[in-house]
Structure 1
Amino acid sequence: MADVILPRFYGCYNCRKHVALHDDIVRKDFVAGHRRRAFLFCHVMNMVAGPKLNRRLLTGVHMVADVHCSDCGEKLGWRYEKVYEDSQKYKQSKTVLEKFKIVKLNW
Protein backbone atom coordinates (compact mmCIF):
# COMPACT_ATOMS: atom_id res chain seq x y z
CA MET A 1 0.00 0.00 0.00
CA ALA A 2 1.42 3.40 -1.01
CA ASP A 3 2.02 6.13 1.52
CA VAL A 4 -0.42 9.00 1.34
CA ILE A 5 1.24 12.39 1.00
CA LEU A 6 -0.80 15.09 2.66
CA PRO A 7 -0.58 18.70 1.49
CA ARG A 8 1.58 20.99 3.61
CA PHE A 9 -0.43 23.96 4.82
CA TYR A 10 0.41 27.24 6.44
CA GLY A 11 -2.00 28.51 9.05
CA CYS A 12 -2.67 31.78 10.82
CA TYR A 13 -0.31 31.95 13.81
CA ASN A 14 -3.13 33.23 16.01
CA CYS A 15 -5.94 30.70 15.34
CA ARG A 16 -4.32 28.04 13.07
CA LYS A 17 -6.90 28.49 10.28
CA HIS A 18 -5.50 27.20 6.95
CA VAL A 19 -4.41 30.19 4.85
CA ALA A 20 -2.05 28.80 2.16
CA LEU A 21 -0.45 25.71 0.68
CA HIS A 22 3.33 25.34 0.65
CA ASP A 23 3.14 24.39 -3.05
CA ASP A 24 1.64 27.83 -3.86
CA ILE A 25 4.78 29.75 -2.85
CA VAL A 26 6.12 31.76 -5.79
CA ARG A 27 9.08 33.35 -3.98
CA LYS A 28 10.58 32.99 -0.51
CA ASP A 29 12.90 36.00 -0.61
CA PHE A 30 10.42 38.78 0.09
CA VAL A 31 10.97 41.35 2.83
CA ALA A 32 8.13 42.91 4.80
CA GLY A 33 8.31 45.91 7.13
CA HIS A 34 11.23 46.11 9.56
CA ARG A 35 13.22 43.63 7.39
CA ARG A 36 11.06 40.67 8.30
CA ARG A 37 10.96 37.66 5.98
CA ALA A 38 7.87 37.06 3.90
CA PHE A 39 6.67 34.67 1.19
CA LEU A 40 4.86 35.52 -2.07
CA PHE A 41 1.94 33.15 -2.78
CA CYS A 42 -0.01 32.71 -6.03
CA HIS A 43 -3.08 31.58 -4.08
CA VAL A 44 -4.30 31.98 -0.49
CA MET A 45 -7.48 30.89 1.28
CA ASN A 46 -9.63 31.97 4.20
CA MET A 47 -8.59 35.61 3.87
CA VAL A 48 -10.49 38.87 3.88
CA ALA A 49 -9.01 41.84 2.02
CA GLY A 50 -9.14 45.39 3.31
CA PRO A 51 -9.48 48.53 1.20
CA LYS A 52 -7.22 49.03 -1.81
CA LEU A 53 -4.67 51.82 -1.50
CA ASN A 54 -1.44 52.97 -3.07
CA ARG A 55 1.52 52.21 -0.82
CA ARG A 56 5.23 52.84 -1.24
CA LEU A 57 7.10 49.56 -0.79
CA LEU A 58 10.75 48.65 -1.34
CA THR A 59 10.16 48.15 -5.08
CA GLY A 60 8.06 51.28 -5.65
CA VAL A 61 4.45 52.34 -5.35
CA HIS A 62 1.87 49.58 -5.76
CA MET A 63 -1.87 49.36 -5.17
CA VAL A 64 -2.28 46.84 -2.34
CA ALA A 65 -4.90 45.59 0.09
CA ASP A 66 -4.02 44.25 3.52
CA VAL A 67 -5.22 40.67 4.05
CA HIS A 68 -6.63 39.33 7.30
CA CYS A 69 -7.48 35.85 8.56
CA SER A 70 -11.19 35.22 7.96
CA ASP A 71 -11.58 33.60 11.40
CA CYS A 72 -9.73 35.80 13.88
CA GLY A 73 -9.14 38.98 11.82
CA GLU A 74 -5.35 38.99 12.31
CA LYS A 75 -3.48 40.95 9.61
CA LEU A 76 -1.16 38.47 7.89
CA GLY A 77 0.18 40.42 4.91
CA TRP A 78 -1.05 42.14 1.75
CA ARG A 79 -2.25 41.44 -1.77
CA TYR A 80 -0.89 43.23 -4.84
CA GLU A 81 -4.01 44.56 -6.57
CA LYS A 82 -2.24 46.67 -9.22
CA VAL A 83 1.44 46.91 -10.06
CA TYR A 84 2.56 49.90 -12.09
CA GLU A 85 6.14 48.99 -13.09
CA ASP A 86 6.60 46.39 -15.84
CA SER A 87 9.50 44.70 -14.04
CA GLN A 88 7.23 44.05 -11.03
CA LYS A 89 4.12 42.80 -12.90
CA TYR A 90 4.72 39.20 -11.74
CA LYS A 91 3.44 40.30 -8.30
CA GLN A 92 0.02 41.43 -9.50
CA SER A 93 -2.88 39.42 -8.01
CA LYS A 94 -0.49 37.61 -5.65
CA THR A 95 -0.32 37.76 -1.87
CA VAL A 96 2.56 38.32 0.54
CA LEU A 97 2.31 36.64 3.94
CA GLU A 98 4.77 37.60 6.65
CA LYS A 99 6.66 34.51 7.82
CA PHE A 100 6.25 35.24 11.54
CA LYS A 101 2.46 35.50 11.06
CA ILE A 102 2.03 31.97 9.66
CA VAL A 103 2.77 28.52 11.09
CA LYS A 104 3.41 25.17 9.42
CA LEU A 105 0.57 22.64 9.61
CA ASN A 106 0.68 18.97 8.41
CA TRP A 107 4.49 18.91 8.12
Structure 2
Amino acid sequence: MSKSFHGQYGRAYLFSNVINVYTGEPEDRSMRTGLHTVQDIHCAECSTVVGWKYLVAYEEPEQYKEGRFILERTLLQYMSST
Protein backbone atom coordinates (compact mmCIF):
# COMPACT_ATOMS: atom_id res chain seq x y z
CA MET A 1 0.00 0.00 0.00
CA SER A 2 1.22 3.47 -0.83
CA LYS A 3 -0.25 6.53 0.90
CA SER A 4 1.29 9.21 -1.33
CA PHE A 5 -1.57 9.52 -3.81
CA HIS A 6 -4.35 12.03 -4.36
CA GLY A 7 -7.72 11.30 -5.93
CA GLN A 8 -10.59 13.56 -6.89
CA TYR A 9 -11.51 14.08 -3.22
CA GLY A 10 -8.09 14.30 -1.56
CA ARG A 11 -5.90 11.60 0.00
CA ALA A 12 -5.95 8.24 -1.75
CA TYR A 13 -4.12 4.93 -1.34
CA LEU A 14 -2.65 2.61 -3.99
CA PHE A 15 -3.21 -1.12 -3.40
CA SER A 16 -2.17 -4.26 -5.25
CA ASN A 17 -5.35 -6.07 -4.18
CA VAL A 18 -8.76 -5.04 -2.87
CA ILE A 19 -11.83 -7.02 -1.83
CA ASN A 20 -15.58 -6.43 -1.76
CA VAL A 21 -15.61 -4.30 -4.90
CA TYR A 22 -16.67 -4.68 -8.51
CA THR A 23 -15.41 -2.80 -11.57
CA GLY A 24 -17.17 -0.56 -14.06
CA GLU A 25 -16.51 -0.15 -17.76
CA PRO A 26 -12.99 0.77 -18.93
CA GLU A 27 -12.50 4.40 -19.93
CA ASP A 28 -9.61 6.67 -20.83
CA ARG A 29 -9.04 9.35 -18.22
CA SER A 30 -6.60 12.25 -18.29
CA MET A 31 -4.95 12.66 -14.88
CA ARG A 32 -2.13 14.75 -13.42
CA THR A 33 0.30 11.98 -14.32
CA GLY A 34 -0.91 11.54 -17.91
CA LEU A 35 -3.46 9.49 -19.80
CA HIS A 36 -4.62 6.22 -18.25
CA THR A 37 -7.24 3.59 -19.06
CA VAL A 38 -9.09 2.93 -15.81
CA GLN A 39 -12.20 1.28 -14.40
CA ASP A 40 -14.13 2.79 -11.51
CA ILE A 41 -14.39 0.42 -8.56
CA HIS A 42 -17.65 0.20 -6.64
CA CYS A 43 -18.40 -1.04 -3.14
CA ALA A 44 -19.95 -4.51 -3.47
CA GLU A 45 -22.39 -3.72 -0.65
CA CYS A 46 -23.73 -0.25 -1.56
CA SER A 47 -22.45 0.31 -5.15
CA THR A 48 -20.76 3.63 -4.25
CA VAL A 49 -17.71 4.45 -6.37
CA VAL A 50 -14.74 4.23 -3.98
CA GLY A 51 -11.85 4.59 -6.44
CA TRP A 52 -10.53 3.09 -9.65
CA LYS A 53 -8.35 0.37 -11.13
CA TYR A 54 -5.49 1.26 -13.48
CA LEU A 55 -5.60 -0.89 -16.61
CA VAL A 56 -3.12 0.98 -18.84
CA ALA A 57 -0.67 3.79 -18.09
CA TYR A 58 0.52 5.36 -21.33
CA GLU A 59 3.54 7.10 -19.78
CA GLU A 60 6.40 4.67 -19.07
CA PRO A 61 7.22 5.99 -15.56
CA GLU A 62 3.58 5.40 -14.54
CA GLN A 63 3.31 1.80 -15.75
CA TYR A 64 3.96 0.40 -12.25
CA LYS A 65 0.32 1.36 -11.52
CA GLU A 66 -1.11 -1.05 -14.10
CA GLY A 67 -3.37 -3.64 -12.46
CA ARG A 68 -3.40 -1.73 -9.15
CA PHE A 69 -6.22 0.04 -7.35
CA ILE A 70 -6.73 3.53 -5.95
CA LEU A 71 -9.08 3.87 -2.96
CA GLU A 72 -10.19 7.38 -2.03
CA ARG A 73 -9.92 7.86 1.73
CA THR A 74 -12.93 10.18 2.03
CA LEU A 75 -15.16 7.64 0.27
CA LEU A 76 -14.37 4.81 2.69
CA GLN A 77 -16.17 4.05 5.93
CA TYR A 78 -15.16 1.74 8.75
CA MET A 79 -17.81 -0.87 9.41
CA SER A 80 -17.65 -3.04 12.49
CA SER A 81 -18.27 -6.75 12.03
CA THR A 82 -20.21 -6.92 15.31
Query: What TM-score do you get using the length of structure 1 for normalisation?
Result: 0.70
In the superposition, the TM-score normalised over structure 2's length comes to 0.90
Structure 2 unmatched ranges of 5 or more: none
Question: Residues 27-68 of structure 1, C-alpha deviation per residue, up to 9 Å, x if partnerless?
Answer: 10101115x110001100111100001000110000000000
Aligned to 1:94: 68
| Cα RMSD (Å) | 1.4
Structure 1 residues without counterparts, runs of 5 or longer? 1-24
Cα distance between partner residues in 2 of 1:73 and 1:28 = 24
- Aligned partner (choices 52, 55, 67) of residue 26 of structure 2: 52
Question: Among the aligned pairs, what percent are the same residue?
Answer: 34
Aligned positions of 1:47-86 closer than 5 A? 47-86=21-60
Equivalences for 1:31-46 in 2 at 5 Å?
31-34=6-9, 36-46=10-20
